[in-house]
Amino acid sequence: MSTSQVKNATIIVPIKNMAGKLTNLESWLSTALQLEIEVILILDGCTDKTDDELRLAGYYSYSNCIPIYTTDIGPGMARNLGLQYAKGAWVCFWDSDDIGDVRQLLEGIAILEKNNSQVGIGGYRVGLQGFDSSEAQIRYFPVYNSLDLVILNPGIWRMIFNRSLLVNCKFGKSRMGEDQVFLASALTMSPKIWFFDFSLYTYFKGIPNQLTSFNIGKGELLTSISEIGSVLIESKVEHRKYLYVMILRLSLTLLRRHPFTFTQYAFPRFVRILIKPRTNSIFSFIRALVLIARNIAIGGKN
């Protein structure tokens, strides 16, 4: 791995009130900084000692560690801000309560550059219960080499992006599904995708105060559904199947959590999205349903 390849990576991490809970972040942060990877930490409205703990640990002494302070703008908008500061040719988006594999990140970048690809997608692990790898029960998910399978659980954190691809890509405004809005935009750029045969990331579930554990408001989901719908209406036919999968996944989450809102607001909105694009969109929707049904039939969940 050449020095130029190492310096050409940026990791963007939104952080919200993680004082006393930085074990997972610290498990990879020092390694990344020592390898001269740029790490942008967006402290998004932290009201605890998170900033003090990071400073006392010496991370800010690295010139490639860039803390940015915001006032509770949410993870999506925080990542958008991080992108404005990013200098690396390659960008990934990790969370502060998970563990990314820095060595595999660099290996992935080398593969992408060698094969002239713009997006890399790896496998991942899921930590169940506990706050860090020493306490958690780790489940390994297989690596897939098909967007049809990856799109059912895309996970922004297991992807590497060429920054030049992201000029017009933005995370959504809401606090749930905001990453799907970003992926929808990136997908419509028709990037060359490389599927790695290794895992890039360990995602932890059941962590106290984890964003996805919150009772997300119905407005958050509706916003993301509408934003992806706007992308879909202007998209090429070959991308619509995947965009419909994103909308369906968010709609099902809304149906489980807020059935009345789904019936009154989301379903009519979904129908308007379905009939507004060109006629090929109906067939794209059917293909999306088949894709989801096939995955359920084989008992798969990537």
Q: What is the DSSP letter of 132?
A: S
Q: Which long-range contacts (CB under 8 A, 24 or more apart) does 135-143 make?
A: 136/204, 138/202, 140/199, 141/199, 141/301, 141/302, 142/302, 143/195, 143/196, 143/197, 143/198, 143/199
Report d(CA 203, CA 251) in Å as an integer.
Answer: 23
Q: What's residue 252's pLDDT?
A: 80
Which pLDDT band holds residue 265 (cuts at 50, 70, 90)? low
**CATH (domain of 162):** 3.90.550.10
Which pLDDT band holds residue 62 (cuts at 50, 70, 90)? very high
Q: What's residue 275's pLDDT?
A: 60
86-109, pLDDT tens digit by residue? 999 999 999 999 999 999 999 999
- Same domain? For 223 and 166 the reply is no
- Same domain? For 62 and 173 the reply is yes
3-state helix, strand, coil in the chain (%, to 5): 50, 20, 30
Please give the tally of structural domains in the chain: 2
Pick 35 or 285 by higher pLDDT: 35
- Domain of 15 in residue numbering reads as 3-115+155-189
Residue 195 domain flag: no
Q: What's residue 148's pLDDT?
A: 81
Mean pLDDT, to the nearest integer, of 216-223? Answer: 75
Residue 265 domain flag: yes
Q: Which residue type occupies 123?
A: G
